[in-house]
Structure 1
Amino acid sequence: MSDKKKNEEQEHIYDSSEALAQELSKAEHFVEQNKKLVLTIGSVIAAIILIFLGGKYYISSQNTIAQQELFQAVYYFEADSLDLALNGDGNNYGLLDIVSEYGMTDAANVASFYAGTAYLKQGDFESALEYLNKFSSSDYLVQARAYSLIGDAHMELGDFGKAASMYEKAAGYNANKEFSPIYLQKAAIANERNGDAKAALANYESIVSDFFGATEYQDAKKHAARLRGLL
């Protein structure tokens, strides 16, 4: 290496070190001049971290309690004792209590699904929609089922357009051979009742083209042929 190049590199290192020292000095000077501000910011960050961790622990502990309450409510639901499932028995919370008291927990989310389904069985379709719309799940089968139940409620209320939309949403949510044809068939019925034969035909054709061998396949072929004759 030439002496000139070596000297240039040494000068570069020296300049970089000197610049770094200057920046550190500026930072130290800023901290010294703004101790109160720095301490306040540090305290706020620490408080946010503590609140976050405390909140996670609180929600976790609340969810454990809510899960215990949910067990009895689900037992009543499965026994078809829907009033007890919804409102409790005087000693145990019902589904509505769990949603109200433990709203941020996973158990409350599940309780919303059961409550909406219970109301649907009782014929209270507005309440069914209220609770089913609160529910969400990462399980694609359960979430698709919830969309279909929302469609059922709209169907019973005579809102066939919304019913068809929800059935189609259920069918397309991680589509599968077991359930998607069922939801598409329900969508076709809703669309026909809504006066939209073209949309109903599209639903049946989806079953025929995408779900060969499904239980609904032959009926879908028959209804698709019928609707083509009308259009």
Structure 2
Amino acid sequence: MKIIDINSIPRNLPENHKEQEVVVPPKRGKRKWYIIGFCVTLFAALFAWFCFYLRGVKDLKAQDDVFQAIYHFEAGDFDKALKGDGIHKGFLEVIQQYPYTVTANLACLYTGIAYMHQKEYEQACAFLSKFKAKDFILQARAWCVMGDAYSEQKKYRQAAVHYMKAARYKPNNVYTPGYLVKAAIAFEADAKDEARSAHEANEQYKNAYNCYQEILEKYPNSAHASGLAIKESSRLSGLF
């Protein structure tokens, strides 16, 4: 008797049945992730180099080069402080040669103040605006000096804006009242501008008044509150 292998018996399949094909996933997906991984690794390496070299080794070189410029600045020789003395670098060259370093950032502050002394107010504002610091003294001071530069150009509205930025940055009993006084003076000077309408002038007088009132309310023990703020707030209250 012949033994029949049941696996060899054909089954009844539907007419539209087709043999399934094995789908091989494309390799493009894996390649994409390899590229992404490589880019991430490269970015991390570049960032580490940036932090170590630019913010570390390069900054040490910048500190050595800027030393003489600071000496000239403190001696009041602002031209040599800015441009160098023929042997040592000035602030401008340090900023250009060591960008993104802590020293170059601080040099922008020195440069802005030096230009203020030379009455080059636009240059002063250009460099002071580049200075960034978390320090509550230096950052506010930079904005205050920018306000002084705008005041010297009789751009009192811009001056008031920067004085208020200084006053609002990490307020304190020591420096904030002084910034508010400067802002009040700038607001009042802007109100007296002939180009201002009566409504604009009233608003600026109110802003000046509010500065003195803030000193009285928040900083009553400051030197500015004892007499100046009381006197000026009383006078300004009758102007609007």
Question: Does TM, scored on the shorter chain, surpass 0.5?
Answer: yes
1:89-147 Cα distance to aligned partner (Å, 9 max, x none): 11211001111111110100000000000000110000000000000111011111111
Structure number having the greater helix percentage = 1
The alignment status of 1:71 with 2:95, answered yes or no, reads no
Q: Which amino acid aligns with 1:65?
A: K
Change (3 A) 1:32 1:79: same
Which consecutive residues of structure 1, in runs of 5 or more, have no partner in the other structure?
1-28
Q: CA deviation at 1:50?
A: 2.3
8 Å CA contact 1:86–1:118 kept in 2: the answer is yes
Aligned positions, number: 203
Structure 2 counterpart of 1:170: 166
8 Å CA contact 1:31–1:38 kept in 2: the answer is no
Change (3 A) 1:156 1:45: same
Q: CA deviation at 1:40?
A: 4.0
Q: SS in structure 1 opposite 2:231?
A: helix
Q: CA deviation at 1:47?
A: 2.4
Q: CA deviation at 1:169?
A: 1.3
Structure 2 counterpart of 1:6: none
1:198-219 Cα distance to aligned partner (Å, 9 max, x none): 1111111111111112111111
Structure 2 counterpart of 1:88: 84
Indicate the larger mover: 154-163 or 30-39. Answer: 30-39
CA distance in 1 between counterparts of 2:28 and 2:206 reads: 74
Instruction: From 219, 225, 228, give the equivalent of 2:234.
Output: 225
> How big is the alpha-carbon RMSD for the aligned residues of Structure 1 and Structure 2?
1.9
Change (3 A) 1:40 1:226: closer
Q: Which amino acid aligns with 2:65?
A: E
Change (3 A) 1:57 1:215: same
Q: How does 1:57-206 map onto structure 2 within 5 Å?
A: 57-59=52-54, 60-195=56-191, 196-206=204-214
Which consecutive residues of structure 2, in runs of 5 or more, have no partner in the other structure?
1-23, 192-203
- TM-score normalized by structure 1? 0.82
CA distance in 2 between counterparts of 1:215 and 1:112 reads: 31
Instruction: From 202, 205, 213, give the equivalent of 2:221.
Output: 213
